[in-house]
Structure 1
Amino acid sequence: MTILKTMSVVILTVMLSSCSTTKKTTATYWVNSAKVDCDAGAGKTTCLQISKADNYENAEWSNFYATINGFNFEPGYLQKIEVAETQLDSKSVPADASSIQYDLIKVLEKKQDPKLAIHDIWAATHVNGKAIESTSNVPTLELNTTEMRASGTNGCNNYTGQIKNITSDTIEFGAIASTRKMCMDMAIPDSFDQAFNSISTYKKEGLTLYFYNEAGDEMLRFKKVD
């Protein structure tokens, strides 16, 4: 009887232990350099953006609504991190909380986000390689790379739109909305629009920003606005 009782206790202990065991895995994320506005269910807040791509320049970012214990977010820096993902017992997790616990294992890589270098307001100096001689109604471009938006004026009409993708030397704009008024001289606005629509790559040197088409021809050149 004593042996049977002991065995029963052991079996029960193993069963209880097995039931309480949580599933733990590891994953590697890139964390984007800026947080974004998001709806976490209980109202508006800001969220991390993560990607599981090997290279951050090929990343498709998705909002991350949970907390990564031990992780220190630094605006302006891309971080590659290794994370432990622990599946929690759903019975003990509040309805509005994550069923997975995230814990930082280590930071694998950290680098300043190159696209923040062009996060600024720029005034056009050249279109299609030719200097803009007019000092009035100069085209401008405001790049907000944290919100992935672009806006400005072509010298006549205001425009705004999304930045679909950006790396350390390539940029792709989404649909651009613009006002439609006619000005006395539409030569610069029209040539600016055509050049802007052909942009494929960029380069920043000091306070000057260059944009090129796919063939490598300079389409637009800007200087930083003080």
Structure 2
Amino acid sequence: MKFLQNLPIIILATVLSSCGSTKQVTSTYWVNSAKVDCDAGAGQATCLQVTKSDDYENAEWSLFYSTINGFNFEPGYLQKIEVTETTLDSENVPADASSIKYDLIKVLEKKQDPKLAIHDIWATTHINGEQIESTNNVPTLEINTTEMRASGTNGCNNYTGEIKNINASTIEFGAIASTRKMCMDMAIPDSFDKAFNTISTYKKEGLTLSFYNESGDEVLRFKKVD
């Protein structure tokens, strides 16, 4: 009988102990409009990119390896969301799982990403200010901002690679893989490759897309391919 009398106290103590092992806070994130490749522990996957900065256009985006319960990711849209972060009891968390549980409270803001304006296929018209006269084997660039990929041809070889970071005016490319053919005239392909490797910023005006180096000099100019 003594044990039964003390049972409510034991249960209460257990509940209090359990509550004391968790911590919950509320945070606000901007979620980027595209997922990127990441190493999720069990192999390659795609991860959200998030920032707690309100200046999302110039933010340093971080990979987000966990799941946000109740959140619906939409490619091409920036979303500002409020979430609860619940720190779980480490004794009850599997070794390969997150110790924090994320739950969506609400979507505060959603807007189409302005970077989608350059999500297209482009043909080169100028390299370092010089107009390309030839209409054969013109270098091209395909920008896929939803998959954060770039691909095309330099006029001889095909290339493909990652877009590491992009905002409303700056762009950073990752490693670029290319075929290794030798064509009869390598002047344009070589000039294109050299200019491409100096790209720092961009500007789109109508159907024209220009890229600039760190000094602000235009290195490549493209027109939209119909």
TM bucket (normalised to shorter chain) is: 0.7 to 0.9
Match of 1:189 in 2: 189
Query: Does the 8 Å CA contact 1:40/1:65 hold for their aligned counterparts?
Result: no
Distance in structure 1 (CA, Å) of the matches to 2:91 and 2:106? 30
TM-score (norm 1): 0.80
- 1:140 deviates by 0.6
Displacement after TM superposition at 1:123 (Å): 0.7
| CA spacing shift, 1:104–1:205, aligned 2, 3 Å | same
- Displacement after TM superposition at 1:62 (Å): 0.7
Q: Distance in 2 between matches of 1:44 and 1:176?
A: 19
Partners of 1:171 and 1:96 in 2: CA distance = 34
The equivalent residue for 1:76 is 76
2:143: which partner in 1? 143
Q: Distance in 1 between matches of 2:190 and 2:95?
A: 55
Residues matched between the structures, number: 220
Q: 1:117 to 1:9 in 2, by over 3 A?
A: same
Determine if contact 1:50/1:64 at 8 Å carries over to the other structure: no
Aligned partner of 2:17 in structure 1 is 19
Unaligned runs of at least 5 residues, structure 1: none
Find the counterpart in structure 2 of residue 207 from structure 1: 207
8 Å Cα contact 2:47-2:63 kept in structure 1 = no
- The within-5 A match list for 1:60-75 is 60-66=61-67, 68-75=68-75
Instruction: Measure, in 2, the Cα distance between the counterparts of 1:46 and 1:71.
Output: 16
Task: Give the corresponding residue for 1:152.
Answer: 152
Aligned CA-pair RMSD: 2.9
CA shift in 2, pair 1:195/1:43, >3 Å = closer
Choose 134-143 or 156-165, whichever is displaced more: 156-165
1:136, distance to aligned residue in structure 2 (A): 0.5
Q: Give the letter aligned to residue 217 of structure 2.
A: D
Is the partner of 1:185 in helix, strand or coil?
coil
| 2-structure distance, mates of 1:41, 1:220 | 39
Q: Is the 8 A contact 2:75 2:146 kept in 1?
A: no
Is the 1:52–1:59 contact (alpha carbons within 8 Å) kept by the matching residues of 2?
no
- Structure 2, unmatched stretches of 5+, are none
User: Is the contact between residue 204 and residue 210 of structure 2 (CA under 8 Å) also seen in structure 1?
Assistant: yes
TM-score (structure 2 length as normaliser): 0.80
- Matches of 2:196 and 2:42 in 1, distance apart? 41
Identity %: 76
- The alpha-carbon distance between structure 1 residues 158 and 10, as it changes in their structure 2 partners (threshold 3 A), is closer
Say yes or no: does 1:87 pair with 2:87.
yes
> Using the alignment, how far apart are the partners of 1:196 and 1:45 within structure 2?
28
- The residue correspondences of 1:161-172 to structure 2 (distance < 5 A) are 161-172=161-172
Summarize the Cα distance change of 1:63–1:111 in structure 2 as closer, same or farther, 3 Å threshold.
same
Shift of 1:77: 1.0
* Cα distance in structure 1, aligned partners of 2:195 and 2:72: 41
1:105-154 deviation digits (Å, cap 9, x = unpaired): 23333332222221221111111222211111100111122332222111
- The structure with the larger Rg is 1
1:42/1:81 CA distance change after superposition, 3 Å? same
Change (3 A) 1:175 1:75: closer
Shift of 1:221: 1.0
